[in-house]
Amino acid sequence: MAVGQKLFDPDEIRKTINTIKPDGELFEVRCLEANGRKVYSGYFKSPETLIDQLCRLNSTDSNIYITLGCVKEDCYSREQREKFVMNAKNTTNDNDIVGYKWLFIDVDPQRPAGVSSSEEQLRKAKERGNQIYVFMKNLGFNDPVTALSGNGIHLLYRIQIANNEDNKALIKKSLAALDMFFSDDELKIDTTNFNPSRICKLYGTMARKGSNTKENPHRLSHLLSEGNPVPTDKIYLEKLTAMIPDKQEKPQRYNNYNPKDFDLEEWLQRYNIQYKKAGYSDGTKFILDECPFDSNHKGKDACIFQSRSGGIGFHCFHNSCSDKTWQDVRKLFEPDAYEKRQQEYERKIYSRLPVQQRPVQSIVPVQGNPVFFTARNILDLQVPEERFVKSGIVDIDKKLRGLKKGYVTVMSGLRASGKSSVISEMVLDAVETGNNAAVFSGELAPKNFMRWMDLQAAGRGYTEPTQFEGYYNVPRKYKEQIAEWLGQHFFLYNNDYGNDYRAVAEQFEKAIEEKKLDLLILDNLMAFNILCLSDNKFEAQTAFILDMQRIAKKHNVHVLFVAHPRKAMGFLRLDDISGTADLGNAVDNALIVHRVNNDFKRLGKQMFGWNDNNPIFESTNVIEIAKDRDGGTMDYFVPLHYEIETKRLKNSPAENKIYGWNKSDDGFLNVEQGEIPFD
């Protein structure tokens, strides 16, 4: 070793091997001499054997690397088994890798070749690494292994996918997406780290580029965190790659475009959208001075990207704008940009006027209350503004526009179909969108109800396994943050006060007025004592439903109640919901929750003619819209995907909602200082 500068730290190497190559897994280590003429290669299974051979190597200027992929066991029989061989004939190539174990993200400062990074460059790389960490956690990735490479920073996300061309392309595209978001003139995401046999700095060894100077020093690489041992599912890689724009804009004649390629920069200038221009590996990004959807999102928060192929994309790093696309941006300035035909001149002019300048349609009141309305009377009737509470279930919010205030919804489903999960998640999404909600849960104690809702609110990365399989908890510190966020927006009825319907309804009506409730959930009809309404069971149920309608309309609140089904012999239908026949007629909406098991598949094939390849069978649960008073939708099935760690029913397997308790004031994921990997 060189005097005054060690080649490696044995303890750091042990830590590295035990983290990225545990349990005797085979790996190759390569030592590359600075002059490039000598490459030492060795295959090992033990950190102790590796350290012993590194001591024997007696190299003074090597940079040392390790293979990341899962190496085929046969490679252990090569000449460099348990020792270093100079310029060995065979080293690990792509065909020697069984599968990918890591998504390897390398953030490297831009600088002249053969020069170590400065302290300022390394500081900026750490800042960028923290941004990537938050971004990936927001997407749903499990916590990565993090490391200082010596000149930059590394994030290694555990994955477990086979070595094939499709997966190779997936990794390559994942790095391209990160490059698009995070590379600039100062820092670059290494997009070459996609091949299966890729090598990585062996942490615990010295990084040597150029001379070891005060301005650009050599540094010892080392691990910072060991990450989550559970691999991130492939669906999150696919979610990341889907963010790369692939659709080109076409010129629109009716929007005064000439028949030429769409000029994005000219479009930005036309609408006076301020930006800074920067490049990335596959195109150009326009970093907006402020987000077009929220002027509080400034700096580098919002970008429009254009790839070399012409594809255009938009992304804002704030959660509140994360669902916005380039098409949404364009329609904000050109409402008719994607209409298939020319709009009438008047409508076009109207749509572009500022709201305060648009003509007001005055309504002439009809004097008196006629026995019969004419068509003209009906046309002039004043209609109260419709308001909706978002359910968080995308297709329900599209089809029903949400849970309409003043309406009543009945929800039913067989035991263990997922009704409780839907209810508590609806509460969270209601609060997230600025609404207040109250719940009567006749079957769950407060602690049990909140345990389930805490898991859903926490989400991926914020729950922890217990000694019991499939049983997860939320750490106390996160529960406190969730409780603070829910605050005076969520209320759970105290069952100690009894279940007499009249008494409970009276308390809820008071709460609606005092606490400004928007959503009232009653779980379930059978948990109430409704004999106070009538001695006859069915008359009492009718009275209950009519009172629900009264409360909903009087207080402009959405009421959702759960009613258990009768024992159904076939596929569960609206008529199978237990109770009076008035139930299905009186409610405005009806939802049926199904669990996608063998019975559901068999009965679905019989009733609806579904085949084995129906995409709905890939989900774990389904919500059926069985009645929709406004739109007439029925027999419409919404697939959902259950996540055991969080008890969430997700709109897609890769969905990862971030609720307000976990957002900072500027809308970003709220990561505590102690959790940020690079400081």
**How many Cα atoms occupy the beta-carbon half-sphere of 315 within 13 Å?**
17
pLDDT number for residue 665: 59
What number is the average pLDDT over the span 452-465?
Answer: 93
Under 8 Å CB-to-CB from 585, ≥6 apart: which residues? none
Q: In this structure, are residues 19 and 145 in contact, taking their beta carbons and an 8 Å threshold?
A: yes
Higher per-residue confidence, 369 vs 584: 584
pLDDT number for residue 160: 95
547 and 466 in a single domain? The answer is yes
Q: In this structure, are residues 325 and 313 in contact, taking their beta carbons and an 8 Å threshold?
A: yes
215 and 302 in a single domain? The answer is no
Q: In this structure, are residues 364 and 380 in contact, taking their beta carbons and an 8 Å threshold?
A: yes
pLDDT tens per residue across span 48-71: 999 999 998 876 678 999 999 999
pLDDT tens per residue across span 645-669: 999 999 999 999 999 998 765 555 6
Distance (Å, rounded) from C-alpha 622 to C-alpha 632?
Answer: 19
Query: Can you tell me whether residue 99 is helix, strand or coil?
Result: strand
237 and 274 in a single domain? The answer is no
pLDDT at 607 over 80: yes
227 and 310 in a single domain? The answer is no
Q: In this structure, are residues 100 and 197 in contact, taking their beta carbons and an 8 Å threshold?
A: no
pLDDT number for residue 238: 95
Weakest-pLDDT range from 141-145, 190-194, 238-242, 571-575: 571-575
pLDDT number for residue 280: 87
The number of beta carbons lying within 10 Å of the beta carbon of residue 166 is 8
Asked if the structure places residue 1 within a domain, the reply is no
Weakest-pLDDT range from 264-278, 485-499, 662-676: 662-676
Checking DSSP bridges between strand 589-595 and strand 408-413, what pairing results, if any? parallel
What number is the average pLDDT over the span 227-256?
Answer: 81
Higher per-residue confidence, 479 vs 382: 479
Asked if the structure places residue 336 within a domain, the reply is no
Ranges 290-304, 521-535, 602-616, most confident? 602-616
pLDDT tens per residue across span 355-408: 444 445 443 444 566 677 778 777 777 766 789 999 999 999 999 999 999 999
DSSP secondary structure letter of residue 351: H
pLDDT tens per residue across span 205-218: 999 888 889 999 99
Band the pLDDT of 534: cuts 50, 70, 90.
confident
pLDDT at 294 over 90: no
pLDDT number for residue 344: 40
Distance (Å, rounded) from C-alpha 130 to C-alpha 135?
Answer: 9
Asked if the structure places residue 90 within a domain, the reply is yes
pLDDT number for residue 226: 94
62 and 120 in a single domain? The answer is yes
Q: In this structure, are residues 41 and 80 in contact, taking their beta carbons and an 8 Å threshold?
A: yes
313 and 460 in a single domain? The answer is no
pLDDT at 354 over 60: no
560 and 631 in a single domain? The answer is yes
Q: Which residue range is the domain that position 40 belongs to?
A: 10-242
Q: What single letter denotes the amino acid at residue 222?
A: H
Nearest of 593, 584, 648, 638 to residue 616 by alpha carbon: 638
What number is the average pLDDT over the span 226-238?
Answer: 94
Distance (Å, rounded) from C-alpha 233 to C-alpha 590?
Answer: 34
DSSP assignment of 565-618: B---SSS--GGGBSS-THHHHH-SEEEEEEE-SHHHHHHHHHHH---TT-GGGG
43 and 151 in a single domain? The answer is yes
Q: In this structure, are residues 331 and 348 in contact, taking their beta carbons and an 8 Å threshold?
A: no
Q: In this structure, are residues 287 and 300 in contact, taking their beta carbons and an 8 Å threshold?
A: yes
183 and 304 in a single domain? The answer is no
Supply the angle between the helices 501-514 and 537-555 in degrees, to the nearest 10.
10
User: Is the C-alpha dihedral spanning 305, 307, 313, 316 positive or negative?
Assistant: negative
Q: Among 288, 305, 325, which residue terminates a domain?
A: 325
Asked if the structure places residue 34 within a domain, the reply is yes
Asked if the structure places residue 671 within a domain, the reply is no
Q: Report the domain count for the chain.
A: 3
Band the pLDDT of 75: cuts 50, 70, 90.
very high
pLDDT number for residue 241: 94
Nearest of 633, 639, 635 to residue 620 by alpha carbon: 639
What number is the average pLDDT over the span 101-105?
Answer: 98
Distance (Å, rounded) from C-alpha 95 to C-alpha 73?
Answer: 12
Asked if the structure places residue 256 within a domain, the reply is no
Location of structure tokens 């008719």: 336
pLDDT number for residue 252: 54
Distance (Å, rounded) from C-alpha 202 to C-alpha 208?
Answer: 13
Higher per-residue confidence, 663 vs 418: 418
199 and 277 in a single domain? The answer is no
Checking DSSP bridges between strand 294-298 and strand 302-307, what pairing results, if any? unpaired
279 and 420 in a single domain? The answer is no
Q: What is the 3-state secondary structure (H, E, C) of 203-219?
A: CCEEECCCCCCCCCCCE
CATH number, domain of 469, equals 3.40.50.300
Distance (Å, rounded) from C-alpha 328 to C-alpha 312?
Answer: 12
Asked if the structure places residue 2 within a domain, the reply is no
Q: Which two tokens stand for residue 29?
A: 């280590």
Asked if the structure places residue 579 within a domain, the reply is yes
CATH number, domain of 96, equals 3.90.920
pLDDT number for residue 227: 93
CA angle 666, 667, 673 (to 5 degrees): 75
Band the pLDDT of 334: cuts 50, 70, 90.
confident
pLDDT number for residue 366: 42
Q: Return the percentage of the chain with pLDDT > 70, whole number.
A: 89
Nearest of 310, 335, 334, 315 to residue 325 by alpha carbon: 315
Q: What single letter denotes the amino acid at residue 401?
A: R
Band the pLDDT of 625: cuts 50, 70, 90.
very high
pLDDT number for residue 666: 54
Residues 647-671 as b or e (16 or more Cβ within 10 Å = b) = bbbbbebbbbbbbbbbbeeebbbbb
543 and 611 in a single domain? The answer is yes
Distance (Å, rounded) from C-alpha 13 to C-alpha 536?
Answer: 77
**How many Cα atoms occupy the beta-carbon half-sphere of 621 within 13 Å?**
25
Higher per-residue confidence, 402 vs 679: 402
pLDDT at 127 over 50: yes
Under 8 Å CB-to-CB from 113, ≥6 apart: which residues? none
Burial class (CB in 10 A: 0-12, 13-18, 19+), 99: middle
Higher per-residue confidence, 3 vs 319: 319
pLDDT at 348 over 50: no
Location of structure tokens 């129906």: 614
